[in-house]
Chain A
Amino acid sequence: MSKVCIVFDRLRAEEKMLQKEASDLGHATIMLDAKITQINTDSKRNDFDLGDVVLERCVSYFRGLHFTASLEFMDVPVLNKFDVANLCGNKMFMTLLLKKHNIPTPKTYFSFSSESASENIEKVGYPLVIKPVIGSWGRGVMPLKDKDTMDAILEIRDITDSPHDRIYYLQELVKRPPRDIRIITIGDRPIAAMYRKSTGGFKTNIALGADPELCEITKEMEEMATKASEAMGGGILGIDMMEDEEKGLVVHEVNNTVEFKGLARVSQQNIPKEIVEFALNYIRK
């Protein structure tokens, strides 16, 4: 019998599903709340009950990332690894890495001040999509269709002025059907996929109410998802693709700490079971 530790900060359906599957497989589980865990520079693995492997499942990206750093400091095997979480958590780092690995991805423009962003947008032309480099569930993702919208958004960014507001991530608006594709990869292997259909707007996040519908994984999707996972460093990931009317499939996002309750509703695959088995195989390698 092995012991799987699930680190969380808000216990969601996914963490309970992982706990149940680990238990059904005959393994012990430890549910560890990152919010009340204290670590210091003298901390050792034996100071905590962290089991044989940790699944880092914090809903807060920065909390999870920093918690992962401290786990790796104590030589605790954790999924996903710090480097993977760090790359996937920042849309700019992720996009650059996808392109570096020749994985089709929407053309994206970067600026590092509002003045430069304004020039960049006027030069490229409308429409574009502006996205925060850190953040999920589609929050802060906005279409830029004209100069008035651009001026308003850039002004808001200048007022809020959080460190990441100074990074302008501007992406071409991909012409596609009103849906995208989410593929879950475990150890670079795609195991399940769904279409996420927009409920009206241009966003397709399940968190915003998009309908999940099972998607058959084609050979092309399989190859692209595997390549995207390998580019990020592997682990348990959510690869998002769009069907560009001109270029075909493009990968626009790779997600760390993937949520899967939408896909679990429609998939034949037992996703949490696959995750637990992968985690235990990971430490046996």
Chain B
Amino acid sequence: MNCLECDATLSVPDDASVGEIISCPDCGADFEIAKKEGSNVELKQAESVGEDWGE
């Protein structure tokens, strides 16, 4: 699986779940795991941090 920004190779840990964020080791772009069925993983651009985020 390649980064949607810079085409670097992304590795998705086996125990990662839908909704988790993975970051590209090369360009730092964040992606959210949108779907995960076995080795079939779909990523989407992660939301950027919002003004109302946090505890």
Contact = CB atoms under 8 A, between A and B. Distances in A.
A143 interface: no
A137 B53 CA distance: 8
A67 interface: no
A136 B54 contact: yes
Contacts, number: 56
A56 interface: no
Contacts of B50: 60
B20 interface: yes
Interface of B: 17-21, 32, 46-47, 50-55
A135 B55 contact: no
Contacts of A132: 51
A114 B54 CA distance: 26
Contacts of A11: 17-21
A238 B18 contact: no
**Which 10 A-B residue pairs are closest in the complex by CB-CB distance?**
A136-B54, A11-B19, A137-B54, A61-B52, A255-B55, A259-B55, A11-B20, A62-B52, A59-B53, A136-B55
A207 B19 contact: no
Interface of A: 8-11, 15-16, 31, 33, 35, 59-63, 89, 132, 134-137, 139, 162, 207, 238, 255-259
Nearest to A205: B54
Contact of B18 (A33, A59, A61, A256): A33
Contact of B55 (A9, A35, A238): A238
Given A11-B17, A162-B51, A259-B55, 11 more contacts: A11-B18, A16-B17, A31-B18, A33-B18, A35-B47, A60-B50, A62-B52, A135-B54, A136-B53, A238-B55, A258-B55
Given A10-B32, A11-B18, A257 B55 contact: yes
A29 to B, nearest CB: 11
A271 to B, nearest CB: 13
14 contacts: A9-B19, A10-B21, A11-B19, A11-B20, A11-B21, A61-B53, A136-B52, A136-B54, A136-B55, A139-B54, A162-B51, A255-B55, A256-B55, A259-B54
Contacts of A62: 52
